Amino acid sequence: LQGIFVLGLPYALLHSGYSGLFLIILAAALCCYTGKILIACLYEENEAGQLVRVRDTYEDIANACCKKLSPSLGGIAVSVTQVTELLMTCVLYLVVSGTLLSHSFPSVPVAESTWSAFAFVALLPCVLIRTLQVVSKLSQLCSLVHFVMVLVVLTYCLTQIQQWSWAKFRLSLEFEDFLVSVGVIIFSYTSQIFLPTLEGNMRNPGEFGCMLNWTHFLACVLKTAFALTAFLTWGEDTKEVITDNLPSFLQTLLNLCLLTKALLSYPLPFFAATEIVFVWISRGNHSNYRPPLLALGVRGSFLLLTLLMAVFIPHFALLMGFTGSVTGAAMTFLLPSLFHLRLQWNKLSFLEKCADISVFILGSLCSLAGIVCSIKGLLGAFG
């Protein structure tokens, strides 16, 4: 919930004004709610009226909803969406790596897309990662770098408090820019694809709801504080990646820290995406054996695909907004509410049904509008 994409929130506030602050809070509340109803879909009541976990994954929930049409149709659709979101996340890490390197060494006449290719070289060992244990160690280092980075940015912003002015917030908004900001904010909260596994591995799954409340509350407070202090410091000059606004002596240091964080963050979504593909392959072959050459081929192909997309779509905020509007909205709002209504319609109260339907409609509108505006922005950037 506190990934590298929090760096895009001050830029989102630039285009959403006061409504952006409300959106950060609303997105936290809605994501917390959809996380709870998604986990509720894993359970069914037994004859004694006790809740029993009868499903394990997001795909299992989707298959249960679509079993009358096809036993595996729902799972395939969810898996494709998951892989798309994970790969787009990897692409974003490469894009932001190229941006950071370009701004760290402005005297070097190299394009951002070329810098992304240099970052890609450092990620080549990802094709050799076989277990989540390696990824978890990299993620621990990533969390430490993130904490230091946010602390430095907030400290600098607080030293500029005399320059803060609420007049920097916009009252009138450009509708298309606002919708791109909605996608950025949604994408910064997406975590639903990991929740079934997380809940299943908790020592006391009964505390999942409480855990979700506290983590989303704290994430909301930290995101709001970070976005607000950064935007009040730079106002209309706020950049897509907020570290680009820092003085040169801090910018180079933090950009290198961010580069380290981006490279350390890449293996998790990359590993998760390739594992989903390996599950598909093993189901087709009815075997869990992975030929070494096939494993290297799949991982190498995915790695190369993320590089090509990063080179041809080098726009961090627009790409993040597009991803948030497409896969983020689907996995976070649309599918959880739809699955909850489908599986537990007879057990839901009138207010719960209204809440699920409202979330689905709101998510659909935001997703559709965000997709259109993000595509227009990307086409305009290329034009």
User: Is there a contact between 354 and 340 (Cβ–Cβ < 8 Å)?
Assistant: no
Q: For residue 47, what are the CA distances in angstroms to 44, 50, 55?
A: 10, 7, 17
pLDDT at 213: 95
Residues, the chain? 383
Amino acid 2: pLDDT:
64
DSSP tally for the chain: helices H, then strands E? 16, 2
Find the helix or strand (DSSP H, E) in which 62 lies. helix 58-65
The chain-wide mean pLDDT, for the chain, equals 82
- Contact, 17 vs 169, CB < 8 A? yes
Residue 24, token pair as written in the block: 């950060």
What is the domain-level CATH number for residue 319?
1.20.1740.10
In which domain, by residue range, is 142 found? Answer: 4-382
Q: State the Cα–Cα distance between residues 260 and 20, nearest whole angstrom.
A: 29
Degrees, nearest 5: CA angle 365-189-303: 100
DSSP 309-341: HHHH---HHHHHHHHIIIIIHIIIIIHHHHHHH
In this structure, are residues 96 and 149 in contact, taking their beta carbons and an 8 Å threshold? no
pLDDT of res. 59: 86
Give pLDDT, residue 68: 79
Q: What are the pLDDT digits (tens) for 302-320?
A: 889 888 888 776 565 566 6
Q: Average the pLDDT over 86-101 and give the result.
A: 82
Please tell me the total count of domains within the chain. Answer: 1
Cα angle for residues 9, 33, 23 (degrees, 5° grid): 30
Whole-number Å distance between alpha carbons of 5 and 376:
21
Q: 150 or 40: which carries more pLDDT confidence?
A: 40
Q: Are 95 and 316 in contact (CB under 8 A)?
A: yes
Instruction: Identify the weakest region by mean pLDDT among 34-38, 101-105, 313-317.
Output: 313-317
Q: Would you report the helix, strand and coil content of the chain in percent, each value rounded to 5?
A: 80, 0, 20
Q: What pLDDT score was predicted for residue 143?
A: 80
If we measure between CA atoms, which residue out of 380, 355, 365, 250 comes closest to residue 30?
Answer: 355
- Average the pLDDT over 206-218 and give the result: 93
With tokens 């049904």, the residue in question is: 353
Sign of CA dihedral 275, 277, 280, 281: negative
Give pLDDT tens digits for 319-366: 666 666 677 778 888 889 999 999 999 889 999 999 999 999 988 887
CB atoms within 10 A of CB 27: 25
65 neighbors 343 (Cβ within 8 angstroms): yes
The values of phi and psi at residue 44, to 5°, are -135, 155
**pLDDT at 3 > cutoff 80:** no
